[in-house]
Chain A
């Protein structure tokens, strides 16, 4: 069974939206937790962070494969390199933060308001990294036409 449709150059474009959406949702749950400490919000946030980090890994691996398959015009090479570099930083941060959240969840350390605010800020920082990586990826496609039919 072929999971990649004919119009897609590789798997990467099918996966990249998962970490973006999941991490954003997780940060939103964290924001809500600052005002309403509900157990379901707490569990939902941790699930979103963990699945978001796993999907970020999938996006990274598919991207590593994709960059070797597509033709990048010369002027787009720096953008491609920066996109790869930021993907590394994002993956390490998201993975590390997800592990940290699991530990905090397990030890129930997120009872104090200041801890919740700090966790929200750290999660939002991850969102900034995701956004920067996504911005460069979008530039590759829409400015340089990488992975698109011409």
Chain B
């Protein structure tokens, strides 16, 4: 009887191991087709999204950037056409106004660039869509800007949003909650002039700030409700903006 019990338990144990292994194998087969599916969806989504922004295109006559698809793909917004009409159609302000940043379209190194001249009034413009888990990269040149440049996300208003900010060579990562600033992490980065890629990511309860693919700040906090994403300027001078890449991060 004792031997029988041993055999039964051993068989159950081995069966468990084998079923776990075969489950893993099945999952591997299913997931191997996913990247293609995601790529196909990423290509399809912008066409759907473009239809929502037909009005903006008519107004500005510009090549209008699509908003991030919902399946974890990313999309890149690039400026072209009339700067004022572009901002009016693709963004809305949660503080400040167009006259506070005097937008102008220029060509830098053969690339259409949005030149913003801030007058010191805090100004934040955000895309129309709200996002949860998000990654965003802004290609900017803040060489002639004096003040704080913020990538903001989960924004409801100027009283509630999350941010990655740079001022000089200092980066802060945090959030504003009911008007009160909470800093998760801050740090200095190597001084750089010219074009930089400023990146913010919010994945669950983990928040990070990168400069040119190098992580500078990493903090943790509760997940905030979905909100708008965009850029906030608190300072004076010229900020050049070439693109904003947004990736709606898929949940596991």
Tell me the A residues contacting B by CB distance below 8 Å.
Answer: 31, 34-35, 67-69, 71, 74-75, 77-82, 84-85, 136
Contact = CB atoms under 8 A, between A and B. Distances in A.
Contacts of B203: 77-78, 80-81
B9 A78 contact: no
A80 B218 CA distance: 12
Nearest to A135: B24
B9 A74 contact: no
Interface in B1-18: 5-6, 9, 13
Interface stretch (B120-128, B169-177, B208-216): B208-216
Q: Would you list the 6 A-B pairs with minimal beta carbon distance, nearest first?
A: A74-B135, A77-B203, A81-B206, A81-B203, A74-B247, A78-B203
The A interface, classified by DSSP as helix, strand, loop or mixed, is helix
B249 A78 contact: yes
Interface residues of B, number: 27
Contacts of A79: 252
Contacts of A67: 218
Contacts of B135: 74-75, 77
Interface in B134-159: 135, 137
Contacts of A35: 5-6, 9
Interface of B: 5-6, 9, 13, 72, 74, 133, 135, 137, 199, 201, 203-206, 208, 210, 213-215, 218, 245, 247, 249-252
B206 A77 contact: yes
A78 B6 contact: no
A84 B214 contact: no
A82 B252 contact: yes
Nearest to B214: A71
Contacts of B204: 78, 81-82, 85
Contact of B247 (A71, A75, A81): A75
A130 to B, nearest CB: 13
Given A78-B204, A78-B252, A81-B205, 19 more contacts: A35-B9, A67-B218, A68-B215, A68-B218, A71-B213, A71-B214, A71-B215, A74-B201, A75-B135, A75-B250, A77-B203, A77-B208, A78-B133, A78-B250, A79-B252, A80-B203, A81-B204, A82-B204, A85-B204
Contact of A74 (B5, B137, B251): B137
A75 B135 CA distance: 8
Contact of B205 (A34, A75, A85, A136): A85
A35 B13 CA distance: 13
* Of listed B74, B250, B252, residue having the most chain A CB within 10 A: B252
A136 B203 CA distance: 14
27 contacts: A31-B13, A34-B9, A35-B6, A35-B9, A68-B215, A68-B218, A69-B215, A71-B215, A74-B199, A74-B201, A74-B247, A74-B249, A75-B72, A75-B74, A75-B250, A77-B135, A77-B203, A77-B208, A78-B204, A78-B249, A78-B251, A78-B252, A80-B206, A81-B204, A81-B205, A81-B206, A136-B252
